[in-house]
Amino acid sequence: MDINKWKINNNNYNKILNIKSGLLYAINNDFTFCKSFIFSFILIIINITFSPNLLTKYISSSLSILILIFELLNTIIELIVDRIGLKYNILSKNIKDMSALFVFIYTVCYLCFSLFIIKYMYISYNKWKLQNKDKKLFDYIIYTFSI
């Protein structure tokens, strides 16, 4: 057995443990990340289930994941600023406020996009329902994966 292969596999295993540790830290210590995690998970399930075609499923799910990424970046920025110094500093406050603004702007843009997608889902479902009056919602969900 080659020792270098074992080191690479051990390194990958350590990376996975670090990812798990970072995720657990963010969920346990940052309430806004925890809310975003739950919110994104619910949105991804809704998007995958009801989006009318595979492209909108992919785009809307990817945008939902970006909420998590931006919230995590905000958390990282706040932790770095706190690590530099806990003493009040106007620059530290401004950095934290701007990173929170960044997340807020993206979330508002995402919600606007989501309203557009929800309207598109509704229109697509109604068009499908006109052609398939005897079928149920579950048939529509299966239909969306075939487009």
Spans of all domains in the chain: 3-146
Single-letter residue type at 130: L
Is the torsion defined by CA of 109, 115, 118, 124 positive or negative? negative
Is the full-model pTM beyond 0.95?
Answer: no
Architecture of domain 3-146: Orthogonal Bundle (1.10)
Predicted confidence (pLDDT) per residue in 49-101, tens digit = 988 888 989 999 999 999 999 999 999 998 899 888 778 889 889 999 999 99
Q: How many CB atoms lie within 10 A of CB 115?
A: 10
Summarised one tens digit per residue, pLDDT across range 114-133 is 899 989 999 999 999 999 98
Per residue in 2-28, pLDDT tens? Answer: 555 555 567 788 888 888 888 888 888
The two tokens of residue 22 are 């970072």
In the three-class reduction of DSSP (H, G, I as helix; E, B as strand; rest coil), residue 47 is classed as helix
Which residues, including other chains, have CB under 8 Å from residue 114's CB and lie 6 or more apart? 43, 60
Report d(CA 101, CA 95) in Å as an integer.
Answer: 10
